[in-house]
Amino acid sequence: MVTTSYILSNDDDFQAAINRLAKATNDFRIPFGDIAREFYQGNKKIFKLKSAGLYPDFKSAESKAQKIREVGFAYPLLFRTGRLASSLVNASDPETVRNISKTGLELGSDVPYLKYHQSDEPRSKIPLRKAVFIDGGPFEQSKGASRSGRREAWLNIINQYILDNIDLQGF
């Protein structure tokens, strides 16, 4: 399994948890289903922001004013038509990527312009504003997300499932 976020220690921690999970069971669908539900809940916070949050704000007052003229609001930054938001908060959206198998989990969106937000390529128009990540993206202030980040929540889901599975096996 390959994991990809934007803080490598998060990837390493998540991969280590997956490795522990593999020692306890060969079917990850239950914890992966719980992780998927948390993914959609967490994404709702991104699309409810009333400020830039940890994302780079508008490049200029004019670009902010332009968005307000065009759609009637400035924030959230990653919300204009609702297409991207819908694909990242609704598991049943036609552009949602949600694939859960016995040993695999894929979460994301097929909205074509998401790749411009996610890309690490040099940019001149659209600032880096990643919407799919394990925790915090490149602007996260705390790698450990010790209060309420995805990394912590997802590791807790996996660890609790391992403990529950061990209990069921009578160890």
Q: Could you tell me the pTM of the whole model?
A: 0.80
- Contact by Cβ (8 Å): 111, 95: yes
* Nearest-angstrom CA–CA distance, 62 and 56: 15
Q: How many CB atoms lie within 10 A of CB 91?
A: 14
Q: What is the pLDDT of residue 110?
A: 93
Question: What six digits make up the tokens of 1?
Answer: 């399994």
The phi, psi pair for 105, rounded to 5°, reads -140, 125
Is residue 51, in this structure, part of any structural domain at all? yes
Is residue 35, in this structure, part of any structural domain at all? yes
Is residue 2, in this structure, part of any structural domain at all? no
**Tens of pLDDT, residues 136-153:** 544 444 444 444 577 788
Structural domain harbouring 136 = 8-164
Strand boundaries in 17-101, DSSP class E: 96-100
Is residue 169, in this structure, part of any structural domain at all? no
* Residue-averaged pLDDT of the chain: 82
Average the pLDDT over 30-54 and give the result: 90
Is residue 143, in this structure, part of any structural domain at all? yes
More confidently predicted of 22 and 119: 22
Structural domains of the chain, count: 1
Is residue 151, in this structure, part of any structural domain at all? yes
- Helix then strand count (H, E) for the chain reads 6, 2
Helix (H) or strand (E) holding 89: helix 83-89
Is residue 98, in this structure, part of any structural domain at all? yes
Question: What six digits make up the tokens of 62?
Answer: 């004019």
Is residue 93, in this structure, part of any structural domain at all? yes
Position 19, amino acid:
N
